[in-house]
Amino acid sequence: MAILVTGSTGTIGTQVLNFLDGHGAEVRALTRSPEKAHFPAGVSAVKGDLSDIDSVRTALDGVSTLFLLAPNAPDELTQAMLTFNAARDAGVKGIVYLSVFKGEAYADVPHFASKMTVERMIDAYDLSVTILRPAYFIQNDMRQKDALLDGGVYGMPVGAKGISMVDVRDIGEAAAKELLRREQARARLPREIYELVGPDAPTGEKLAALWSDVLDRPIRYGGDDLEAWERRLKAFGPPWLAYDMKLMMRRYQEDGAVATAEDVARLAGLLGHPPRSYRDFATAAAAEWAKD
C-alpha cells in the first residue's frame, strides 16, 4: 500500500515529500502534470486534481494513507469533502489533513471556515485523521525581499497583537511523521490534532526591529493599511482571493494568533526538536540575499 500526497508541487507538498524521502514507504504524488513534475527519487507521479473527483478516485486505488491539502479556491470545501468521502470509500486507513490555526475563532474568513467545516465532518464520523493547524507561514515573508532591501520597510500588515508564525519545514516534517506513523500502523489510529506554530509571536514593529538587526540597516514597519494591501494583492491574483486574505489579516490585527506554551511543547514533542524561529529564518534569508 502507498501514501498519496496532494498539493505535491506546492510549498508544503514539496516539504512533505522531502521529509518522507528515505523512510522506505511507497509514496505517490498527485499532480496535474506528471510529465513536468520533479520529485525525489522513488516518488511516483500520479495524474489528478482535487477539482476532478474522478481523477482523485482513480488515484486513491491502492492508497492506504493520504495527505490532504485542499487549495485556497472558491470550491475548497467541496474539493476537500469530496476527497474525504472518496478516501473513505476507497478504504484509506489514515489521513493527515492540513487545516488552519485559529480556524474556529476566525469564522468570518472564508478559507478558515471551509477548513473548520471539514473538521466538523472528521469529528462527526470519527475518522482516523491527524489534523494539522498551521499558523501564518514564515516563508511567506520571502516576498518582502524588495521592500526590505530597497525600501527599508517590512510591509506585511500583521498588526500589533502577535502571530505565532510557523516555518514550512516544520509543517512538512510534522506531516511526514504523522503520515509514516499512520502508514506503519496495523490498525486505524485515533484522531490527533496539532497546532503548528512558532516559538514566539512577533508583531509588525518587532519584525521590523528584527530585520533591522539581521540586515544591519534601519527597517520600519509599513503599518496596518489593509485597503492598500488588498489593492496590491489584486495586482497578482483574483479579487476574491485578495479580499479573503484581507479578512484574514484584519482578524490578525484585531485578535492576533498567539499559541500557548502547551501548543509549542506538543509540536516540539512531535518534531523531536523545538519549532524553528523567525529569527533563524530571517538570518538565513539575509545570508542568501547577500549572495545575489
Q: Which CATH number fits domain 2-135+166-196+260-276: 3.40.50.720, 3.30.365.10, 3.40.50.2020, 2.30.30.40?
A: 3.40.50.720
* Radius of gyration for the chain, computed over Cα atoms and rounded to the nearest angstrom: 19
Q: How confident is the model at residue 291 (pLDDT cuts 50, 70, 90)?
A: confident
Say what angle helices 239-255 and 226-234 make with each other, to 10 degrees: 150
* Mean per-residue pLDDT, 194-201: 97
For cell 500526497, the residue is 5
292 pLDDT more than 80: no
Cell triple for 256: 492576533
- Answering whether pTM is above 0.95, one says yes
Q: How confident is the model at residue 180 (pLDDT cuts 50, 70, 90)?
A: very high
Say how far apart CA 86 and CA 54 lie, in whole Å. Answer: 9
Percent of the chain scoring above 70 in pLDDT: 100
pLDDT at 190: 95
Cell triple for 93: 486507513
C-alpha distances out from residue 253 to 163, 226, 248, Å: 9, 10, 9
Say how far apart CA 141 and CA 77 lie, in whole Å. Answer: 27
1 pLDDT more than 90: no
12 pLDDT more than 80: yes
Instruction: Break the chain into its structural domains and give their ranges.
Output: 2-135+166-196+260-276
Question: What average pLDDT is seen over the chain?
Answer: 96
Cell triple for 110: 472564508
pLDDT in tens, 198-224: 999 999 999 999 999 999 999 999 999
pLDDT in tens, 153-176: 999 999 999 999 999 999 999 999
**β-bridge partners, 30:** 46
